[in-house]
Structure 1
């Protein structure tokens, strides 16, 4: 075996004094890497700590600590009065004179599935003003109240039972309060067996699509439709069949025609507040879709993504509330106005379907956030959820009405829109002819960001979905002013 002082340790033990990783850990990592690459073959004797410290310019106590860890992990053996030796099973190649990092010339990278469907269309911008597709204003959240409630639950939590028992009991209490809340607010008639709760609306949709859709299944969606849900449905293997939407929702004659020409497995609807146009499915069409579901055997996947924001005193109940034949799978969100992590997604459906969903959810989300569920259970029991909803309703209704006033005063005669009764966005159709991408660029030059996901343009349509909920009154005025200025520069210049 070569003399240890002949080994060029500094060529492969690279230590960085300014790195966040402690030096002794760097030593451990570098030695393990050298052993695994065969740079320090089995049986190699390492120089004494004083010599090695001088070579690597490190403190001796630091090196001794690193060597102790290496020995405990089985990479080296420290033999009293004999020295320190490598225990790797790597074999020494006598042809190696200069130590260099080997390069595997013929090793190919591993293969994996690539999705062209799930490419994120979302954009980010640092511009001071931004429209979105209808998100709430997180500045309105009373984080101090949330923190106090969360901490108080943590302090009261006394572990007197097995943790699995605590999780089960907490989750059962939450589901009991939650299905009662859904029955009260949405007119459902469900029990605990008909309800699945998830960490988000997106997880709910993913799980439901996984169970309902096989590769090649025909799935009807409204056109224009919700790009994120279409991505999830397509990724599940769906063959998307777009059906036009008018002022009363999805067109029944077009839906019936689609059913007559091919097998339809699922009809995906945002019936209460269609995305992106904000229209509600009329009462007549609701009954017709339920009848078609019974006739052609498709499942109605009803997505109530924005029920939290009912702004006027005329709430529309979901199809699930009038479904007597168990043809509707109802998904939605809860507490969207709370910070990320506090909200919930849910699925309401026949008990057998929920039971199957639970199998898949147990893999995706095996644990339960007990404290979070206890906080929300208390909120529902104490009526805090209703108080928060009432408070938000006043704020967002004022913002909607102010936004409508601004659109009428600054852009009246150049746009067409209907005032939505719910949600935090307005569907605006432009009467002038111009390119929306050019409008996006003009707005950006003036400090307003219009993401591509809110732009809709075809041969017969130029429209934008403008979210007002995240803007205060002054920000709205500035944003509409920039829209007007940008439109003028496109149309009149």
Structure 2
């Protein structure tokens, strides 16, 4: 038997519960290969005696491992390391009067890039089943207002209104580093963080720094257009791999790497794949990190809604298990608080952060220091943490109610899986339903929803769309589903 008493080092003074410490350390042993696939673990009573713990603590730790996908239970036999893990291997100017046309078209030529044509999303009045936006009515407005006022009373006023650090306000970087380390298992300092105006800016800067014309970027067959547009603008050549109920197909990625010979970047949304909301399975996470080391490509991890997970604890980001600095981690408070709060961040090794900041300086000298300071204060005072807890409870209830409505009112015309987290449900409609007509007729009745056409891979008709539930109250969700039901029945 492995010396578990030596391998599992527990800190009873830590704020992290003991059962979480046990579960996390077991997962690290699995990632390191100390515990192999299919290896039987000690019984709960036996391990509790070895570690001088209550048996229920070990039961809870094993249940956490089962929920995370690291362990599996065999009836009448015990608890084992999950069998689907790969083997771990260490590793002269004439003035002329302007005519009307000149106000529309310039007198010189320029290229209009068609792939940049994309509707601008705005928050519409009335009912909406959107892409998965937060409810701005829950945003901590009073707390934010107090934090803004404190900015004018704090420190040297002259410094407040001059130029600031291109990487972002020091307070927010410091507090965000602490927050990410605590909640996502990252090991950052403020030097590893740059504040941006939303995650889209982080994706753009990363693409501009890392990509050159012809570089291969791999995404899932279905993915976020905002990301691929940036890669294309950087001159990259896009490749795709399939996506199933466990996330992107990493085996297909491995084959693609062999065929291409050189892959520069892989873009993933592993916590909740966009648009389908599925979570990338742990063994695929390990294999993806291994492939990055072998083929020397960067992993661009877009973790757009990590703060909202409704079952157990969320699976930690790829960046938390990245020993070689292969992951660039991008996130945002847009989905956590409100779209108007243009606060995003990039987490990466300090050398890349420095280069990103140099590029950012020539297009956007700095962010909004007042907003960044205020958000930093909310983290420092734990107001942001309270907001996350409150929102999580509310969105959890709304998810459950919305999924019940879909099942009971539209069950014969839609297919969906209740998502473990996030703020939208990926919903496939019966092929007989015209999604464009459905979205148009719903809009005529005061309900916005996307027709889903942007999610279709080339040559495929998914007849699916993301239906956001978080930004609507339960009563608003009921009215929305009622409108959809009436339209579908009318068109039968």
TM-score, length-normalised on structure 1?
0.73
CA contact (8 A) 1:133 1:454 kept: no
Count, aligned residues: 393
CA contact (8 A) 1:199 1:341 kept: no
Instruction: Give the Cα separation in 2 of the matches to 1:218 and 1:401.
Output: 40
Give, in angstroms, the shift of residue 309 of structure 1. Answer: 2.1
Give, in angstroms, the shift of residue 155 of structure 1. Answer: 3.6
CA contact (8 A) 2:451 2:465 kept: no
Q: Which residue of 2 aligns with 1:388?
A: 387
Among 211, 214, 221, the residue aligned to 1:216:
214
Q: Which residue of 2 aligns with 1:332?
A: 331
Give, in angstroms, the shift of residue 223 of structure 1. Answer: 1.5
Instruction: Give the Cα separation in 1 of the matches to 2:166 and 2:194.
Output: 14
Are residues 162 and 321 of structure 1, via their aligned partners in 2, closer, same or farther at CA, if it must alter by over 3 Å?
closer
CA contact (8 A) 1:122 1:453 kept: no
Instruction: Give the Cα separation in 2 of the matches to 1:115 and 1:341.
Output: 27
CA RMSD, aligned part only?
Answer: 2.9
Matched residue of 2:113: which SS?
Answer: coil
Instruction: Give the Cα separation in 1 of the matches to 2:450 and 2:471.
Output: 14
Q: Which residue of 2 aligns with 1:53?
A: none
Are residues 125 and 351 of structure 1, via their aligned partners in 2, closer, same or farther at CA, if it must alter by over 3 Å?
closer
Q: Which residue of 2 aligns with 1:476?
A: 477
Higher RCO (CA-CA < 8 Å; seq separation 6+):
2
Give, in angstroms, the shift of residue 211 of structure 1. Answer: 0.9
Q: Which residue of 2 aligns with 1:462?
A: 463
Are residues 149 and 191 of structure 1, via their aligned partners in 2, closer, same or farther at CA, if it must alter by over 3 Å?
closer
Matched, 1:487 2:485: no
Instruction: Give the Cα separation in 2 of the matches to 1:167 and 1:235.
Output: 27
Matched, 1:244 2:242: yes
How big is each residue's C-alpha offset from its partner over 1:379-412, in whole Å with a ceiling of 9 and x where there is no partner? 2222111111001111111111110111111012
Q: Unaligned 5+ residue runs, structure 2?
A: 1-92
CA contact (8 A) 2:271 2:279 kept: yes
Matched, 1:149 2:147: yes
Are residues 402 and 366 of structure 1, via their aligned partners in 2, closer, same or farther at CA, if it must alter by over 3 Å?
same
Instruction: Give the Cα separation in 2 of the matches to 1:307 and 1:169.
Output: 23
Among 111, 114, 120, the residue aligned to 2:112:
114
Instruction: Give the Cα separation in 2 of the matches to 1:161 and 1:475.
Output: 46
Give, in angstroms, the shift of residue 140 of structure 1. Answer: 2.2
TM-score, length-normalised on structure 2?
0.73
Q: Which residue of 2 aligns with 1:22?
A: none
Are residues 215 and 469 of structure 1, via their aligned partners in 2, closer, same or farther at CA, if it must alter by over 3 Å?
same
Q: Which residue of 2 aligns with 1:312?
A: 311
How big is each residue's C-alpha offset from its partner over 1:193-250, in whole Å with a ceiling of 9 and x where there is no partner? 2221112111111100101111121111112111111111111112111211000000
Are residues 313 and 226 of structure 1, via their aligned partners in 2, closer, same or farther at CA, if it must alter by over 3 Å?
same
Matched residue of 2:239: which SS?
Answer: strand
Give, in angstroms, the shift of residue 364 of structure 1. Answer: 2.6
Are residues 452 and 159 of structure 1, via their aligned partners in 2, closer, same or farther at CA, if it must alter by over 3 Å?
same
Matched residue of 2:464: which SS?
Answer: strand
Q: Which residue of 1 aligns with 2:410?
A: 411
Are residues 376 and 454 of structure 1, via their aligned partners in 2, closer, same or farther at CA, if it must alter by over 3 Å?
farther
Counterpart mapping for 1:65-84 below 5 A: none
Q: Which residue of 2 aligns with 1:136?
A: 134
Q: Which residue of 2 aligns with 1:193?
A: 191
Matched, 1:175 2:173: yes
Matched residue of 1:117: which SS?
Answer: helix
CA contact (8 A) 2:144 2:378 kept: no
Of structures 1 and 2, the larger Rg is shown by 1
Are residues 337 and 299 of structure 1, via their aligned partners in 2, closer, same or farther at CA, if it must alter by over 3 Å?
closer
Are residues 169 and 300 of structure 1, via their aligned partners in 2, closer, same or farther at CA, if it must alter by over 3 Å?
closer
Counterpart mapping for 1:51-66 below 5 A: none
Matched residue of 1:264: which SS?
Answer: coil
Q: Give every structure 1 segment of 4 or more consecutive aligned residues whose post-TM-superposition deviation is greater than 4 Å.
A: 100-104, 123-127, 160-170, 453-460
CA contact (8 A) 2:167 2:195 kept: no
Are residues 240 and 469 of structure 1, via their aligned partners in 2, closer, same or farther at CA, if it must alter by over 3 Å?
same
Instruction: Give the Cα separation in 2 of the matches to 1:342 and 1:127.
Output: 19
Instruction: Give the Cα separation in 2 of the matches to 1:280 and 1:484.
Output: 30
CA contact (8 A) 2:424 2:469 kept: yes
Matched, 1:373 2:385: no
Matched, 1:364 2:360: no
CA contact (8 A) 1:194 1:349 kept: yes
CA contact (8 A) 1:201 1:346 kept: yes
Instruction: Give the Cα separation in 2 of the matches to 1:215 and 1:328.
Output: 21
Which sits farther off after the overlay, 241-250 or 338-347? 338-347
